[in-house]
């Protein structure tokens, strides 16, 4: 009797967590769209797919809510549109798959529960599709770092109401940064990384009221004024703008006092002085202003930093650089 009960309970428990049969079928069709034996041996059609590598299921419903395929050079070919049949999916993560190619399929838009779309370090190419803007307000993060994407950043991405993370670094994106980005975002912890692309034009003035915590625009061809990213009362921690063609007067910038941690504005054409107000930034860990056209005495607080962070400017002086020749 006890044995039968145990068996019954065991069966019920495993039934409740077993992989949903539609998801099971879909996963097999995803596997079969890639070369034979490229998936781990756990992807065995007669076992519970909730126990397979790359998969997590909701324990109550048995629906697949995480598909995370990573670090597998055997997986070669385009992203299968059939992924869109995993309708409970919240996390789609395709990372370090050097032989995944082709464009981002529009069928992914059927994933109405998707929160994190991560396609990173693959050979996916083509444009960043404007249909991404049609995802539901469940979508929190888009990470397309390290692919072969080209063309402009769609202005419509600004329509995503819950987007708080947009990483498009290390692609071949061109054109200017749309001033609509994060226009509808209500969240106040925005992370933006557009570094290592071929972006041109000015940093949008509309970024003044975006609640960034990190901004990385390094290694592009951006011009003009970056002072909208600064401001005494902002809560940004990292501002990375190295290796662009930015030209503005740093003397007029007020540094965020509460949160600022890392600033890299090296390799630009920034002029003026380093404002003495920087002494009010309590938590500053890193400041690189090298290779610009700055001048004047370095504020005392910065004497602790490596002199290489101030090198190759027009006429910066004082510790950690040699002392100023006359009072400045
Ligand atoms: C699949 O799993 C079943 C049950 O665990 C096992 O008997 C079978 O040998 C496995 N098949 C392969 C191809 O690994
Ligand atoms: C699992 O699914 C149920 C029913 O849809 C839902 O209420 C619950 O929040 C889900 N659990 C997790 C951890 O997502
Ligand atoms: C990209 O993926 C390849 C293959 O898995 C890996 O060797 C490499 O370290 C990854 N590159 C980055 C920048 O993560
Ligand atoms: C300063 O930076 C240079 C170049 O990055 C490095 O070689 C040197 O070790 C650093 N010095 C100190 C004291 O950290």
Distance CA 158, CA 133 (A): 7
306 lines ligand 4 (CB under 6 A): yes
Q: Where residue 193 falls among pLDDT bands split at 50, 70, 90?
A: very high
150 lines ligand 3 (CB under 6 A): no
Distance CA 259, CA 120 (A): 29
With a cut of 50, say whether residue 211 has pLDDT above it: yes
Q: Say how many C-beta atoms besides its own lie within 10 A of residue 211's C-beta.
A: 15
- Which atom of ligand 1 lies at the shortest distance from residue 47's CA? 2
Q: Which amino acid residue places its CA nearest to atom 11 of ligand 4?
A: 306
Distance CA 164, CA 141 (A): 6
Distance CA 247, CA 254 (A): 16
Nearest ligand (C-alpha, residue 52): 1
Its pTM surpasses 0.85: yes
What was the pLDDT predicted at 17? 60
Q: Provide, rounded to the nearest whole percent, the portion of the chain with pLDDT above 70.
A: 94
Nearest ligand (C-alpha, residue 96): 3
292 phi, psi to nearest 5 deg = -140, -160
CA 62 to centroid of ligand 1, rounded, Å: 21
Q: Which amino acid residue places its CA nearest to atom 12 of ligand 1?
A: 44
- Which atom of ligand 3 lies at the shortest distance from residue 96's CA? 2
Helix or strand or coil: residue 258? coil
121 phi, psi to nearest 5 deg = 55, 55
Q: Which amino acid residue places its CA nearest to atom 2 of ligand 4?
A: 308
Q: Are 262 and 239 in contact (CB under 8 A)?
A: yes
Give me the domains of the chain, ranges plus CATH numbers: 1-123 (3.80.10.10)
288 lines ligand 4 (CB under 6 A): no
Pairing of strands 64-70, 55-57: antiparallel
With a cut of 60, say whether residue 3 has pLDDT above it: no
To test ligand 4's pocket by mutation, which of 287, 302, 306, 311 has the most ligand atoms within 8 angstroms of CB? 306
Nearest ligand (C-alpha, residue 308): 4
Question: Based on the number of CB atoms within 10 Å of its own CB, is 54 exposed (0-12), middle (13-18) or buried (19 or more)?
Answer: buried
Q: Where residue 83 falls among pLDDT bands split at 50, 70, 90?
A: very high
Instruction: Compute the Cα dihedral for 299, 304, 306, 309 and give only its sign.
Output: negative
What was the pLDDT predicted at 200? 98
Average pLDDT, stretch 199-203?
Answer: 98
CA 275 to centroid of ligand 1, rounded, Å: 68
Nearest ligand (C-alpha, residue 91): 2
């Amino acid at each position: 009797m006890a044995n039968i009960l145990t068996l019954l309970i065991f069966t019920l428990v495993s039934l409740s967590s077993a992989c949903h049969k539609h998801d099971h079928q879909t996963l097999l069709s995803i596997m079969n769209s890639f070369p034979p034996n490229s998936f781990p041996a756990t992807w065995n059609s007669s076992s519970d797919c909730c126990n397979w590598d790359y998969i997590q299921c909701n324990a109550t419903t048995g629906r697949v809510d995480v598909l995370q395929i990573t670090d597998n050079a055997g997986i070669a070919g385009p992203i299968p549109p059939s992924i869109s049949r995993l309708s409970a999916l919240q996390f789609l993560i395709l990372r370090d798959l050097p032989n995944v190619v082709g464009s981002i399929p529009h069928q992914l838009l059927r994933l109405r529960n998707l929160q994190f779309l991560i396609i990173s370090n693959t050979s996916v190419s083509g444009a960043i599709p404007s249909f991404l803007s049609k995802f539901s307000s469940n979508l929190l993060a888009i990470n397309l770092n390290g692919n072969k994407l080209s063309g402009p950043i769609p202005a419509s991405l600004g329509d995503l109401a819950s987007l708080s993370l947009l990483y498009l670094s290390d692609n071949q994106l061109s054109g200017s940064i749309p001033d609509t980005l994060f226009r509808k975002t209500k969240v106040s912890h925005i992370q933006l990384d557009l570094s290592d692309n071929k972006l041109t034009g000015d940093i949008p003035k509309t970024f003044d009221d975006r609640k960034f915590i990190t901004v990385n625009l390094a290694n592009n061809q951006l011009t003009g004024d970056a002072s909208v990213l600064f401001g005494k009362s902002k809560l940004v921690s990292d501002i990375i703008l190295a290796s662009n063609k930015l030209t503005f007067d740093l003397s007029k910038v007020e540094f965020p006092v509460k949160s600022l941690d890392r600033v890299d504005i090296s390799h630009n054409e920034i002029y003026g002085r380093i404002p003495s107000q920087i002494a009010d930034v309590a938590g500053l860990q890193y400041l690189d202003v090298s290779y610009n056209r700055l001048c004047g005495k370095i504020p005392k607080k910065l004497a602790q930093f490596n002199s290489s962070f101030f090198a190759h400017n027009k006429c910066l002086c004082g510790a950690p650089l040699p002392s100023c020749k006359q009072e400045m």
